[in-house]
Amino acid sequence: MKITILTDNEVPIGQPCQGEPAFSALVEGERKILFDAGQSGLFLRNAQHLGLTLEDVDTVVISHGHDDHIGGLYYLMEHFKLRGITRRPTLVLHPWALAHRVLDGAATGNVLTRAALETYFDLVVTDQPYSLGKDLYFLGEIPRLCPFEYAPNRAMVLREEGWVQDTLPDDTALAYRSPEGVVVLTGCAHAGVCNTIQQAQAVTGEEHIRDVVGGFHLLRPAAERMEKTLDFVQSVGVEEMHPCHCTSFPAKAALSGVCQVSAVGCGSVLEYH
């Protein structure tokens, strides 16, 4: 399996890409999967600069419904429309990922209707783990088992009963069961990177974590949360991490004390057996 990061906050020197505060990655293996679409059409332009095409993706997976992960879907739909592409990728996401969201009055979530999405995609809307091919899984709704990863926020989400506090139950990830161990690909890890790792272990049936790649939601973590996260990562024996997107430099440095940590950004390529 190969992961190419298309959109991230950072661009490594020498990569022919631009960055934005968002996330998107291309996963290539048995199937070609777009994981998150960033906030704009930048992921499409970066893919082109990297010599990659997204016109033949089999599946699109959305990690959660924040606009820096789902916002680029509009531009993918426009790309399909302008190019006359008639193939219909499967779009896999949690039911809450389609909801309208606000933070301090500003829209932060999905703005596309389900009907609009169904014009271009075959939707799989589920809160359960879902197989994306041999040894690759959408993790579904992630149980919040680590209390130290709970972080209250001011965000609101529109549900049938009206506007309610947004606990982001839609936040999820991918897990690949490789011969070397489990590779976890996160979007933002609002559910908590430790909770996400535990769900990956449960869904794949494998304990060893080969790598964790993506946003870890450790931008400004409380000291207790960071300390307990480090204890967890060390106790589980995570082999390697590639933190990016919503992960601060101090958090990356701290994680490097308990496992191997490598820098990644737009254009970075990671390969696994």
Taking only the tens place, the pLDDT of each residue in 171-203 is 999 999 999 999 999 999 999 999 999 999 999
Residue 255 has pLDDT above 90, yes or no: yes
> CA geometry: angle at 135 spanning 133 and 141, to 5°?
85
Percentages (nearest 5) of helix, strand, coil residues in the chain: 25, 25, 50
Would the pTM of this model clear 0.85, i.e. be above it? yes
Output the pLDDT for position 99.
96
Task: Kindly state the tokens that stand for 158.
Answer: 């529109």
Output the pLDDT for position 270.
99
Output the pLDDT for position 151.
83
Q: 26-78, pLDDT tens digit by residue?
A: 999 999 999 999 999 999 999 999 999 999 999 999 999 999 999 999 999 99
Residue 153 has pLDDT above 90, yes or no: no
| Contact present, 139 and 219 (Cβ < 8 Å) | no
Residue ranges of alpha helices (H) inside 163-260 are 193-204, 223-236, 249-255
Output the pLDDT for position 152.
82
> CA geometry: angle at 146 spanning 133 and 93, to 5°?
35
Q: 154-169, pLDDT tens digit by residue?
A: 999 999 999 999 999 9
Pairing assessment for the beta strands 122-125 and 24-28 based on DSSP bridges:
unpaired
What are the structural domains of the chain? 2-267 (3.60.15.10)
